[in-house]
Amino acid sequence: MKTISADDAAALVRSGMWLDYGAALAQPVLFDRALAERRDELTNVKIRSCLTMRPRAVVEADRGGDHFQWFSWHFSGYDRRQHDAGLCHYMPLNLGEVPDYYRRFLDPVDIAILQTCPKDERGFFNFSAANLWHRAVVERAKVVIVETNPALPYAPGDDNGVHESAADFVIEGSADSPPELPNPAPTEIDRAVARWIAGEVEDGACLQIGIGGMPNAACALLGESGVRDLGVHTEMLTDGLADLYRAGRITGSRKVLDPGKVTYTFALGSRSLYDTIHRNPDFVCQQVDYTNSPHIIMRNPRVFSINNTTQIDLQGQAASESDGHRHISGTGGQLQFVRGAYASESGKSFICLSSTYEKRGERRSRIVLDLTPGNIVTTPRSDVMYVVTEYGIVNLKGKSVPERAKALIAIAHPDFREQLDRQAHEHRLVPRWSRPR
């Protein structure tokens, strides 16, 4: 392993190479700036990434996309804006399968550049709160470069890091504060949805919480309730879960896997969240094929999976990642956790959404007869269990198509129920003879 400057590291890049910047807190800073300076010397450099939390110099320097191409496993707001501009490309996945993609289906990475904690006493560069598939990237990379940042939280976890013997070069980076993810205050609709979910959560439940206001609102309500001995086995660690931990609601004492531990694969949130994680032995940052594989998720009893969607049709198909052909986020781990929670003993999965949204000054229903053309189905109708809006909660498991349609209409916004009922009958989702006259 050799210590080099960011400029010298960037000089290793050749046209046509595949680079990997990793995900979230792992994305490099100094190397990215140095590589952007070489724009005019390079063409068709392809870079894989995920959940980009800050503007990337290579993208900003090449608004035509001739020199650098940006690929993402899951969009942040920044990735989405670049996609709208034609500068970012989405790669479909189930997030927990990504290590397997690198090992089985992708060509070796030419250069992997990951931001890490400084070398620890065991000779490891800790991946911080972003374990994910980074071990697989390191295994499949021809050249491995780590860019250290002493401001990153050190996240205990199995194989959460790269040993100095597996790193070719190290860039001594600056102590930039890790990017934070804002947590807007929950709306009244968020809290209404959360109340329905919180009413289902039992002592000893093992939580998976997705990103967004509604799941965080559910955490807040659980903190106010009397529920206790909660566990966590999740993809993303959020501020809401950290708040529950600090309140003493999370003990993990009833978990089968990692008892007493908060299990996650990456964290994004506030400085308070990162401070809670830092060298805390109660938290274990695992690889994503461990956190997200349904056959592993199901080993804990009473898994409660809570995720958002943006649109659901009357048969129960949940579209959570696009607005028509415009990509918004990604499949992430939603489907895998829906399946893992269902297979768990007494487990439950919740897909939550507000009943309406505003678009171009018009209020529209999120519960619809047909999904918006081009919308991607994230969770199929055969997998959806509980659906929750501010108007109620329904379980679609075991229900026929007419029963599903009626159940979903009952939790739609009242202003849209008559129209949805009429559409359901006109398109024979519900028998015509069953409509009241």
pLDDT digits (tens, 9 = 90+) for 87-136: 999 999 999 999 999 999 999 999 999 999 999 999 999 999 999 999 99
Instruction: Please state, rounded to an integer, the average pLDDT across all residues of the chain.
Output: 95
- Is 433 a residue whose pLDDT tops 90? no
Q: How far apart are CA 51 and CA 88, in angstroms?
A: 12
Q: Which residues form the domain of 9?
A: 2-172
Asked if 364 and 419 sit in the same domain, the reply is: yes
CATH number at residue 45: 3.40.1080.10
At 364, the pLDDT band (50, 70, 90 cuts) reads very high
Quote the tokens at residue 36: 């952007």
The pLDDT of 345-369, averaged and rounded, is 96
Residues 168 and 203 in one domain: no
Question: Percent of the chain, pLDDT > 70?
Answer: 99
Angle formed at CA 282 by CA 280 and CA 286, multiple of 5 degrees: 90
Which pLDDT score is estimated for 294?
98
Contact 376, 319 (CB under 8 A): yes
Compute the distance between CA of residue 263 and CA of residue 236 in angstroms, rounded to an integer. Answer: 9
314-333 residue pLDDT tens? 999 999 999 999 999 999 99
Examine the domain organization and report whether 301 and 410 are in the same domain.
yes
Ordered DSSP codes for 275-293: HHHTT-TTEEE-BHHHHS-
Structure tokens at 191: 């809290």
Is the residue at 39 inside a domain?
Answer: yes
Q: Is the confidence at residue 342, as pLDDT, over 80?
A: yes
Q: How large is the average pLDDT for residues 59-77?
A: 94
Q: Which of 330, 312, 320, 427 is nearest to 381 (CA)?
A: 312
Reply yes or no on whether the pLDDT at 434 is more than 70. Answer: no
Residue 435 has pLDDT above 70, yes or no: no
Residue 432 has pLDDT above 80, yes or no: no
What's the pLDDT score for residue 141?
A: 98
> Tell me, what amino acid is at 16?
G
CATH code, 315: 3.40.1080.20
Q: What is the pLDDT of residue 65?
A: 84
The percentage of the chain sitting over the pLDDT mark of 90, rounded to a whole number, equals 91
Residues contacting residue 310 through CB under 8 Å, at least 6 positions apart: 319, 320, 321, 323, 328, 353, 357, 366
Annotated catalytic, 164? no
Model confidence at 436, pLDDT cuts 50, 70, 90, reads low
Determine the Cα angle at 130 with ends 258 and 11, to 5°: 150
| pLDDT value at residue 216 | 83
- Name the strand (E) or helix (H) holding 191: helix 188-198
According to DSSP, the residues that pair with 392 across neighbouring strands are 389
Which of 147, 235, 321, 390 is catalytic? The answer is 235
pTM: 0.95
User: pLDDT for 72-84, tens place per residue?
Assistant: 999 999 999 999 9
Would residue 181 count as lying in a domain? no
Answer yes or no: is 112 within a domain: yes
Residue 225 has a pLDDT of 85
Domain boundary among 172, 197, 218: 172
pLDDT at position 411: 98
Shortest CA distance to 385 belongs to which of 425, 416, 340?
340
Co-location of 167 and 208 in the same domain: no
* Over residues 399-409, mean pLDDT: 98
Say if strands 266-267 and 322-323 run parallel, antiparallel, or are unpaired. Answer: unpaired
| In a domain? residue 103 | yes
- What tens digit of pLDDT does each residue of 228-285 get? 999 999 999 999 999 999 999 999 999 999 999 999 999 999 999 999 999 999 999 9
Q: pLDDT (tens digit, 9 = 90+) per residue, 179-227?
A: 999 888 889 999 999 999 999 999 999 999 988 788 888 898 888 888 9
Select from 172, 199, 230 the last residue of a domain.
172
pLDDT in tens, 284-298: 999 999 999 999 999
Within this chain, do residues 211 and 152 fall inside the same structural domain, yes or no? no
Residue length of the chain: 437
* SS3 (DSSP) at 97: helix
Give the gyration radius of the chain's Cα atoms.
Answer: 23
Within 8 A by CB and 6+ apart from 76, the residues are: 51, 52, 53
In Å, how far are 164, 286, 330 from 151, measured between CA atoms? 19, 21, 29
Separation in Å, CA 248 to CA 204, 205, 221, 241, 267 = 13, 14, 14, 11, 20
The pLDDT-based confidence of 431 (bands split at 50, 70, 90) is confident
In this structure, the answer to whether residues 312 and 376 fall within a common structural domain is yes
Q: How many domains does the chain have?
A: 2
- Residue 216's Cβ-count burial label (10 Å; 0-12, 13-18, 19+) is buried
For the cut 80, the answer to whether the pLDDT of residue 437 exceeds it is no
Find, among 117, 18, 133, 30, the residue nearest to 73 by Cα.
133
DSSP for residue 26: G
